[in-house]
């Protein structure tokens, strides 16, 4: 290595790349430098805990090893070969243990606790401290999700640094000074932020623990299963901790290119929905008295009956949360078996973006990021939000173009904004063209699922620049995987059957969609594949129970275009979809294996170039970029424009609906997450609120043709004028134009 | 006393100069005019020639510190001069008197120093408790502004809010940036990445005030005063059991015994000298006989196993119990610990507890060994010198007055029997500890459903 | 508090290259206008004026001795009890104040008039004992001076 440096640690010589930290250098030599506060993902080393004290030749005092970088010729001695370093580390542990309570028997961290491990390796076996330890009220609810035990806290400040320097929510702080320092939130306020749960994994002791996991298991009783989160299109790598066949917690599995080791609270804490009270446990068939449970064979008979009877008039509504294999299986059954080629899927992601494919971590290294669209990135793909913050801390400029953007734009104006950017005279566009590290992001509906974005990226010359990338954030976790797998199942053109003889609703996103429900009302019959009773009750003729993504073997494709492998973490209480799809398909002479791995092989031959499942590995790789292929042009030029302000009446506001991160059928069923649910409020711009005499906190009536809703108002200084923003679940049946008046 | 040359307080005749015209009348602003004709390199060269060393306590050569600040073409970020007016080292009160009596000489020094490091932006971080001194500076700054003498340099007077640790330069920068005043690891050093990650020079009030007469008289001339490794004059803060405590500007090298017995009028109330803390509470204590032998300069005090520190001389007579002194001093460090690093946060409190145990008569010989061992584990392992100072100070009391510690142990009580000058003294941590009692524990966790 | 606090803080912000630096003067001003302490509402106002979170402002306020997050008396009387003042009779002055005010150190009088504290070195060591009354320093204080000091506190 021409730019390598040689370091001697404990008489072992090791060469590492210039700039490597000393802790990593030692690791490379097979030597441990123990640490608590050191965590490179939190920023530059702070050297606070003093656990990593080592002797460095030429320096009189012991040094905090974590703050040092390998220098050529450096000679270091750790506790293994230096009495002074050993005493220093011993001393640090002794000090930490001075006030640390003997909670191990009742502490969740026991058995997977760095303090236990390091004390055993480097610390004292008994105590010389004879005074009363400091005691505090315990445990304190930092939030319904997180419990704080201040007596155990070793004040390594990892949690507060995460809150201020990574998630940048500044809600978890240190209070007071010196020995009386404590971790706290403001007053009685809970730690309410999308990434709060990460502090549980960061905490090296049992001070910050998960309330869901409290007293649930000991590390020697559990099995961790590696898989990928299926709740949003980022596809963060996770690990499910299971005990006796149930998921007990979800942790990050750190894919450095996708999630960097962080997990949002939705991915982390939503697993209890697997055991929701209203989970559909068996098939339900509509009879004279409503939906009644039936045996599987009878259910499949009924399904066959409905399918045959509606041949030629079948439409499938896909959720975009299916695995590729399930989507393919549906395609084999419906398209190959029945020639039912019509499907609706809310949004997908255009393949044209493959020319600008890059890991999400590229965003973290960018110098300029332009985000177009009306939805906040954190609501669509939270991991991207963290990369954006990292980029900004690194000096990047982040420009948001949208209804709440730094560059205000009308609702639905994302495509126009992109067009403007590609104008050769446009200032921001010029900077995008000139940059080697620029990223475009589409965060919102429309735009041909990223097709417009790809066109713009191409015009701006992103091709061939690895530091330049474009990302479309779809509304569902696996829309592209689903639509391509569905398409691969057979050849044949879509028609739009009218009327719809049978609507097959796959998945809860579809079951909960007002558009799909509208179709269902028109359809003569409906088969719904759903997890929860309340979603399909009332309008399905046959309900087949669905599995959750944590229960599935298979693959999915995230928003980067990366194929990743899901592993079954627990056996679902209901049969896997492929199991009954294969039986049903057989009745229509279509062959489908019930095993995900076999289905993947078939699918891979068709569309993944024969890629084998083992090749995906534990941390899947992102394939190299494809050459740019221009996408289909916008079907209706000005279609985007048509979305905007139709029939705008004086005094009305354009209603902007959005889907908050903590919404959806899974989140609704987790008690501890209810405090993160969106407030029942409507956001108005300062101007619009002012003109109507409305202040934050006022109750207002929101009216549109025939319907009205009462909500609390909030003045949003970032919101563009003429727009009112409401969470979709609070907007009921309101139309696109609304009147807002003080109640 | 009037024979000693005054440099910092020159022209004041024992009073204060708070009016710009009066300051000019005694030669004020001469140095500034001269400096504005000099290049930054020439200014730094003058400081080098003076061998001026930091007057805050670190005693680092000022000219060399300024030379570490990269030139604007090497580092395009704005350069900052930050003046440390957070004077909080127990025994020290000289920067206060400087700001009170010669505010213009100080501000003039700020402007000259700014030019030396090519900075347009000066921040003066003044401890929050010095409200009156801050008002004086506000008025003086306003007079300079009205007289259009600032030359495009912005001077911001920033008040602290009560934290000794903010006198540590990197903690000061953190506090100035609007964060908790916790020190940073070095490197990076402030000269490269200091305030707002930009090149910064942090200097003490007295150092900056001395810059003015150095430029006026010339560095070489200044270096003729004092002694070789400690040139120039120093404003010594004398306090404790002397007849005439106060701030005295004297040349470095002045005999300590003369400061105490001549300038300071000797020990009050006919008592005898027992011990002297020569450079603020963080410096090792000297016995009476040691104190008689040293001179007030870097070399002499280092050789005696102590340090010149902040030039704060605390005189203690025979009424002072050394164990109680240990308790009170350790309580100070415990109270002021920022809490960032483990040995200081935990160790200062533990030292205090052990000392209290010994003082109360419940201590054993093992406790004395433990005290020194805990101190050994603190000293040299902390992120900044605060923790080290507690350990060093306490170790020196044991080293120099071991018999007194042993007496407490063997007599199971304080041999002063309530008559010590420190007896019953209440520290802020005493009050805090009274409120921090054992708390009700094991309250069941209520999960919000 | 009113619009003027927000405006005052904006002025403070403008003095610093990084507006976060204004948190200390903003907290000082907020405390002045809130009877000498910082209730939650005051911390929220500071947060709002500086685009910081209330939690962050609490983390700053609680670090420094001169900020109080609990109610205080209309007047504060603070006695330095560090070494130089201690050997010059600070404890006797403190005890005299306790007797004269009828409260213990660290407490506030029942009528809400005075809070009495022991504090660390106030930087007046040669003028011991130093007593800060509403942050104005009284020097060379002896027990004999205590009645006068208390009387001057008035209502």
Q: What is the DSSP string of C56-91?
A: HHHHHHTTSTT--SS---SEEEEEE-SHHHHTTTHH
Q: What is the DSSP string of A66-114?
A: GG-B--TTEEEE-TTT-HHHHHHHHHHHHHHHHH----GGG-TTTTS-H
For β-strands A397-402 and A407-408, DSSP reports them as parallel
Provide the sign of the torsion angle of the four alpha carbons A473, A474, A478, A481, taken in this order.
Answer: negative
For β-strands A554-557 and A563-566, DSSP reports them as antiparallel
Nearest-5° Cα angle at A598, A592 to A600: 95
Give yes or no for a contact between A342 and A495, defined as CB atoms under 8 angstroms apart.
yes
Q: Give me the phi and psi of A443, to 5 degrees please.
A: -125, 85
Give yes or no for a contact between B52 and B207, defined as CB atoms under 8 angstroms apart.
yes
The answer for B 348-407 residues in CB contact with A (under 8 A) is 348-350, 353, 370, 377, 380-383
> Could you tell me the maximum CA-CA distance found in chain A, to the nearest angstrom?
89
Look up tokens 């084998």; give the residue. Answer: A612
| Residue of chain B nearest C90, judged by CA positions | B425
Provide the sign of the torsion angle of the four alpha carbons B126, B129, B130, B135, taken in this order.
Answer: positive
Higher pLDDT pick, A130 / B17 = B17
Ranges of chain A with pLDDT below 70: 1-2, 635-650
Neighbours of chain A (3+ CB pairs under 8 A): B, C
- Mind listing the pLDDT tens digit for each residue in B99-157? 999 999 999 999 999 999 999 999 999 999 999 999 999 999 999 999 999 999 999 99
Please state, as a whole number, how many other Cβ atoms lie within 10 Å of the Cβ of residue A686: 13
Strands (E), B63-118: 80-85
Please state, as a whole number, how many other Cβ atoms lie within 10 Å of the Cβ of residue B366: 10
Our CA-based measurement puts residue B349 at a distance from the nearest CA of chain A, in whole angstroms, of 7
Give yes or no for a contact between A62 and B383, defined as CB atoms under 8 angstroms apart.
no
Taking the Cβ of residue A95 and every Cβ of chain B, the question of whether any pair is shorter than 8 Å is answered with yes
| Residue of chain B nearest A98, judged by CA positions | B346
What does the pLDDT average to over B271-294? 98
Q: Give me the phi and psi of A347, to 5 degrees please.
A: -145, 145
Mutate: best of B101, B154, B161, partner C, most C CBs <10 A: B161
Give yes or no for a contact between A532 and A669, defined as CB atoms under 8 angstroms apart.
yes
- Mind listing the pLDDT tens digit for each residue in C52-76? 999 999 999 999 999 999 999 999 9
Query: Which residue pairs from B171-176 have beta carbons closer than 8 angstroms and sit at least 24 positions apart in sequence?
Result: B171/B338, B171/B384, B172/B82, B172/B84, B172/B86, B172/B125, B172/B202, B173/B82, B173/B200, B173/B202, B175/B125, B175/C24, B176/B82, B176/B123, B176/B125, B176/C21
Mutate: best of B84, B129, B168, B435, partner C, most C CBs <10 A: B129
Look up tokens 């809703």; give the residue. Answer: A709
Interchain contact, B426 vs C105, CB within 8 Å: yes
Name the residue among B343, B400, B403 with its Cα closest to residue B373. B343
Give Cα A12 distance to the centre of its chain: 42
Query: Which residue pairs from B371-375 have beta carbons closer than 8 angstroms and sit at least 24 positions apart in sequence?
Result: B371/B398, B372/B398, B374/B347, B374/B350, B375/B347, B375/B351
Neighbours of chain C (3+ CB pairs under 8 A): A, B
| Closest CB to C24 among B130, B159, B335 | B159
- Mind listing the pLDDT tens digit for each residue in B366-397? 999 999 999 999 999 999 999 999 999 999 99
| Closest CB to A141 among B339, B442, B446 | B446
Name the residue among B290, B377, B277, B287 with its Cα closest to residue B328. B277
> Quick check: B64 pLDDT over 70?
yes
Interchain contact, B426 vs C63, CB within 8 Å: no
Distances (CA, A) of B437 to A135, A149, B350: 8, 17, 16
Would you call A642 exposed, middle or buried from its count of C-beta atoms within 10 A (0-12, 13-18, 19+)? exposed
Interchain contact, B438 vs A135, CB within 8 Å: yes
| Residue of chain B nearest C87, judged by CA positions | B421
Give me the pLDDT at residue A534, please: 82
Name the residue among A424, A469, A415, A479 with its Cα closest to residue A444. A415
Please state, as a whole number, how many other Cβ atoms lie within 10 Å of the Cβ of residue C14: 9
Contacting residues of B for C120, CB less than 8 Å apart: 88, 90, 164, 332, 335-336, 427-428
Our CA-based measurement puts residue C62 at a distance from the nearest CA of chain B, in whole angstroms, of 9
Beta carbons within 8 Å of C120's beta carbon, 6+ residues apart: B88, B90, B164, B332, B335, B336, B427, B428, C65, C80, C81, C82
Taking the Cβ of residue C40 and every Cβ of chain A, the question of whether any pair is shorter than 8 Å is answered with yes
Give me the pLDDT at residue C1, please: 53
| Residue of chain C nearest A185, judged by CA positions | C55
Neighbours of chain B (3+ CB pairs under 8 A): A, C
| Closest CB to A173 among C40, C56, C64 | C56
- Cα–Cα distance, A515 to B51 (Å, whole number): 82
Taken as a whole, chain B contains a residue count of: 449
Strands (E), B190-344: 200-204, 233-240, 246-251, 254-255, 273-277, 286-287, 295-296, 312-317
Distances (CA, A) of B172 to B82, B197, C105: 9, 13, 30
The answer for A 158-197 residues in CB contact with B (under 8 A) is 174, 176-181
- Cα–Cα distance, C131 to B93 (Å, whole number): 15
| Residue of chain C nearest A161, judged by CA positions | C56
Q: Compute the count of residue pairs across chains A and B with CB atoms less than 8 Å apart.
A: 122
Give yes or no for a contact between A320 and A348, defined as CB atoms under 8 angstroms apart.
yes
Please state, as a whole number, how many other Cβ atoms lie within 10 Å of the Cβ of residue A205: 22
Global model pTM greater than 0.90: yes
| Residue of chain A nearest C52, judged by CA positions | A170
Look up tokens 């429309």; give the residue. Answer: A446
Token pair listed for B229: 């490794």
Our CA-based measurement puts residue B300 at a distance from the nearest CA of chain A, in whole angstroms, of 23
Q: How confident is the model at residue C92 (pLDDT cuts 50, 70, 90)?
A: very high
Token pair listed for B272: 């005898």
Q: How confident is the model at residue B438 (pLDDT cuts 50, 70, 90)?
A: very low
- Cα–Cα distance, B150 to B302 (Å, whole number): 40
> Quick check: C15 pLDDT over 70?
yes
| Closest CB to B339 among A91, A177, A675 | A177
Name the residue among A492, A453, A204 with its Cα closest to residue A337. A492
| Residue of chain A nearest B344, judged by CA positions | A178
> For residue A579, what is the enclosing H or E element?
helix A577-587
Beta carbons within 8 Å of A301's beta carbon, 6+ residues apart: none
Interchain contact, C63 vs A176, CB within 8 Å: yes
Q: What is the DSSP letter of A540?
A: -
Would you call A413 exposed, middle or buried from its count of C-beta atoms within 10 A (0-12, 13-18, 19+)? buried
Name the residue among A292, A333, A352 with its Cα closest to residue A587. A333
- Cα–Cα distance, A128 to B351 (Å, whole number): 12
| Closest CB to C63 among A170, A177, A186 | A177
Query: Which residue pairs from C9-14 have beta carbons closer than 8 angstroms and sit at least 24 positions apart in sequence?
Result: C9/C46, C9/C49, C9/C50, C10/C49, C13/C50
Please state, as a whole number, how many other Cβ atoms lie within 10 Å of the Cβ of residue B249: 20
Interchain contact, C120 vs B428, CB within 8 Å: yes
CA-CA-CA-CA dihedral for B312, B313, B316, B322, to nearest 10 = 60
- Cα–Cα distance, B202 to B207 (Å, whole number): 10
Taking the Cβ of residue A98 and every Cβ of chain B, the question of whether any pair is shorter than 8 Å is answered with yes
Interchain contact, A180 vs B432, CB within 8 Å: yes
- Cα–Cα distance, B145 to B139 (Å, whole number): 10
Please state, as a whole number, how many other Cβ atoms lie within 10 Å of the Cβ of residue C32: 9
Mutate: best of C66, C121, C139, partner B, most B CBs <10 A: C121
Helices (H), B236-303: 256-258, 288-293, 298-303
The answer for B 150-169 residues in CB contact with A (under 8 A) is 163
Give yes or no for a contact between A260 and A658, defined as CB atoms under 8 angstroms apart.
no
Q: How confident is the model at residue C155 (pLDDT cuts 50, 70, 90)?
A: low
Contacting residues of C for A177, CB less than 8 Å apart: 62-64
Share of chain B above pLDDT 90, in %: 94
Give Cα A409 distance to the centre of its chain: 27
| Residue of chain A nearest C39, judged by CA positions | A187
Name the residue among A168, A201, A190, A208 with its Cα closest to residue A676. A190
């Amino acid at each position: 290595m021409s730019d390598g440096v040689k370091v001697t640690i404990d008489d072992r010589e090791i060469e590492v790349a210039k700039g490597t930290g000393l802790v990593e250098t030692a690791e490379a030599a097979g030597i441990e430098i123990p640490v608590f506060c050191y965590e490179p993902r939190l920023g530059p080393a702070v050297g606070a805990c003093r656990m990593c004290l080592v002797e460095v030749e030429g320096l009189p005092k012991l040094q905090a090893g974590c703050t040092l970088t390998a220098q050529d010729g450096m000679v270091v001695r750790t506790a293994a070969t230096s009495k002074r370093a050993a005493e220093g580390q011993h001393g640090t542990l002794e000090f930490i243990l001075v006030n640390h309570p003997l909670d191990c028997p009742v502490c969740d961290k026991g058995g997977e606790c760095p303090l236990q491990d390091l004390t055993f390796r480097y610390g004292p076996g008994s105590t010389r401290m004879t005074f009363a330890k400091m005691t505090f009220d315990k445990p304190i609810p930092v939030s319904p999700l997180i419990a704080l035990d201040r007596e155990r806290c070793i004040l390594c400040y990892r949690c507060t640094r995460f809150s201020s320097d990574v998630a940048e929510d500044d809600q978890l702080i240190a209070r007071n000074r010196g020995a009386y320092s404590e971790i706290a939130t403001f007053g009685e306020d809970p730690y309410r932020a999308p990434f709060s749960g990460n502090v549980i994994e960061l905490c090296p002791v049992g001070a910050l623990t998960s309330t869901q996991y409290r007293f649930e298991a000991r590390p020697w009783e559990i099995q961790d299963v590696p898989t990928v989160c299926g709740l949003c299109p980022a596809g963060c790598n996770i690990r499910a901790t299971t005990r006796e066949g149930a998921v007990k917690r979800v942790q990050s599995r750190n894919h450095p290119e996708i999630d960097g080791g962080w997990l949002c609270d939705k991915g982390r804490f939503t697993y209890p929905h697997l055991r929701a009270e209203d989970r559909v446990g068996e098939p339900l068939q509509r009879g004279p008295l409503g939906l009644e449970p039936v045996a599987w064979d009878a259910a499949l008979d009924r399904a066959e009956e409905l399918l045959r009877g509606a041949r030629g008039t079948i439409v499938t509504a896909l959720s975009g949360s299916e695995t590729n294999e399930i989507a393919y299986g549906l395609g084999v059954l419906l398209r190959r078996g029945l020639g039912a080629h019509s499907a609706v899927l809310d949004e997908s992601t255009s393949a044209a973006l493959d020319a600008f494919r890059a890991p999400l971590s590229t965003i973290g290294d960018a110098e300029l990021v332009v985000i177009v669209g009306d939805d906040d990135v954190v609501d669509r793909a939270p991991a991207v939000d963290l990369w954006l913050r990292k980029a900004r801390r690194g000096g990047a400029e982040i420009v948001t173009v949208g209804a709440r953007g730094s560059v205000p734009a009308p609702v639905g104006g994302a495509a126009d904004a992109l067009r403007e950017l590609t104008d050769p005279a446009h200032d921001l566009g010029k900077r995008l063209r000139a940059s080697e590290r620029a990223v475009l992001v589409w965060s919102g509906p429309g735009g041909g699922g990223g097709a417009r974005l790809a066109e713009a990226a191409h015009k701006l010359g992103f091709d061939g620049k690895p530091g330049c990338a474009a990302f479309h954030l779809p509304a569902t976790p696996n829309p592209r995987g689903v639509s391509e797998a569905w398409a691969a199942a057979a050849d044949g053109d879509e028609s739009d059957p009218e009327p719809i003889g049978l609507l097959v609703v796959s998945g809860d996103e579809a079951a909960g969609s007002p558009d799909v429900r509208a179709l269902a009302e028109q359809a003569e019959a409906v088969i719904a594949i759903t997890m929860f009773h309340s979603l399909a009750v009332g309008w399905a003729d046959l309900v087949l129970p669905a599995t959750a993504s944590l229960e599935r073997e298979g693959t999915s494709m995230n928003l980067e275009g990366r194929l990743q492998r899901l592993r079954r973490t627990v056996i679902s209480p209901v049969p896997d979809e492929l199991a009954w799809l294969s039986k049903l398909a057989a009745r229509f002479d279509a062959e489908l294996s019930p095993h995900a791995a076999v289905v993947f092989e078939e699918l891979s031959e068709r569309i993944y170039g024969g890629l084998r499942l083992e090749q995906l590995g534990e941390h899947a790789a992102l394939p190299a970029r494809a050459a740019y292929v221009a996408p289909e042009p916008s079907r209706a030029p000005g279609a985007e424009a048509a979305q905007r302000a139709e029939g705008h009446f004086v005094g009305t506001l354009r209603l902007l609906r959005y889907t908050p991160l903590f919404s959806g059928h899974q989140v609704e069923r987790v008690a501890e997450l209810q405090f993160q649910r969106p407030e029942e409020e409507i956001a108005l711009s300062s101007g619009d609120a002012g003109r109507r005499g409305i202040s934050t906190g006022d109750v207002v009536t929101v009216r549109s043709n025939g319907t009205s809703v009462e909500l609390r108002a909030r003045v949003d200084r970032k919101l563009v004028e003429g727009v009112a923003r409401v969470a979709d679940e609070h907007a009921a049946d309101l139309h696109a134009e609304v009147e807002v008046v003080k109640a | 006393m009037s024979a000693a040359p005054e440099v910092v307080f020159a022209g004041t005749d024992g009073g204060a100069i708070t009016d710009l015209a009066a300051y000019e009348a005694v030669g004020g602003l001469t140095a500034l005019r001269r400096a504005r004709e000099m290049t930054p390199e020439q200014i730094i060269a003058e400081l080098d020639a003076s061998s001026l060393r930091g007057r805050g306590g670190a005693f680092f050569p000022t000219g060399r510190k300024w030379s570490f600040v990269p030139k604007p073409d090497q580092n395009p970020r704005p350069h900052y001069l930050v003046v440390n007016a957070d004077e909080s080292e127990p025994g020290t009160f000289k920067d206060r008197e400087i700001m009170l009596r010669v505010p213009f000489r100080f501000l003039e020094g700020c402007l000259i120093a700014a030019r030396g490091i090519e900075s347009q932006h000066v921040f003066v971080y003044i401890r929050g408790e010095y409200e009156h001194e801050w008002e004086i500076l506000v008025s003086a700054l306003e007079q300079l502004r009205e007289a259009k003498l600032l030359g495009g340099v912005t001077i911001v007077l920033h008040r602290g809010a009560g934290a000794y640790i903010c006198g540590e330069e990197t903690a000061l920068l953190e506090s100035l940036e609007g964060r908790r005043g916790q020190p940073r690891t070095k490197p990076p050093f402030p000269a490269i990445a200091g305030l707002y990650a930009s090149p910064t020079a942090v200097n003490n009030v007295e150092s900056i005030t001395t810059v003015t007469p150095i430029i006026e008289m010339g560095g070489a001339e200044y270096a003729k005063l004092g002694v070789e490794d400690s040139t120039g004059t120093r404003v010594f803060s004398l306090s404790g059991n002397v007849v005439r405590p106060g701030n005295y500007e004297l040349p470095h090298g002045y005999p300590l015994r003369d400061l105490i017995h001549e300038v300071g009028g000797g020990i009050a109330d006919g008592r005898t000298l027992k011990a002297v803390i020569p450079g603020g509470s963080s410096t090792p204590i000297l016995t009476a006989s040691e104190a008689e032998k040293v001179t007030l300069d870097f070399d002499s005090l280092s050789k005696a196993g102590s340090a010149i520190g902040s030039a704060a001389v605390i005189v203690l007579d025979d009424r002072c119990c050394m164990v109680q002194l240990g308790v009170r001093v350790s309580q100070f460090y415990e109270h002021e610990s920022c809490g960032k690093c483990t040995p200081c946060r935990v160790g200062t409190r533990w030292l205090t507890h052990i000392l209290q145990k010994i003082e109360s008569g419940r201590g054993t010989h093992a406790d004395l060994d433990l005290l020194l061992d805990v101190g050994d584990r603190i000293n040299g392992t902390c992120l900044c010198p605060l923790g080290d100072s507690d350990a060093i100070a306490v170790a020196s009391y044991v080293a120099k007055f071991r018999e007194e510690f042993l007496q407490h142990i063997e007599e199971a009580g304080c041999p002063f029997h309530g008559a010590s000058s420190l007896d019953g003294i209440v520290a802020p941590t005493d009050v805090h500890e009274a409120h921090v009692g054992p708390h009700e524990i094991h309250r069941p966790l209520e999960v919000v459903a | 508090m009113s619009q003027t606090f927000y405006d005052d803080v904006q002025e403070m912000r403008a003095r610093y290259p990084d507006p976060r630096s204004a948190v200390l003067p903003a907290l000082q001003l907020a405390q002045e206008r809130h009877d000498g302490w910082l209730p939650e509402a005051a911390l929220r106002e500071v947060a709002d004026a500086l685009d910081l979170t209330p939690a962050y402002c609490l983390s700053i306020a609680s670090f420094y001795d001169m900020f109080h997050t609990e109610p205080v008396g209309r007047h504060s009387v603070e006695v330095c009890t560090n070494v130089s003042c201690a050997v010059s009779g600070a404890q006797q002055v403190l005890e005299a104040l306790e007797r004269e005010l009828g409260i213990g150190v660290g407490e506030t009088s029942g009528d809400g008039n005075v809070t009495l504290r022991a504090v660390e070195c106030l930087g007046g060591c040669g003028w011991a004992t130093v007593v800060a009354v509403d942050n104005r320093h009284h020097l060379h204080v002896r027990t004999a001076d205590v009645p006068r000091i208390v009387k001057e506190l008035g209502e």
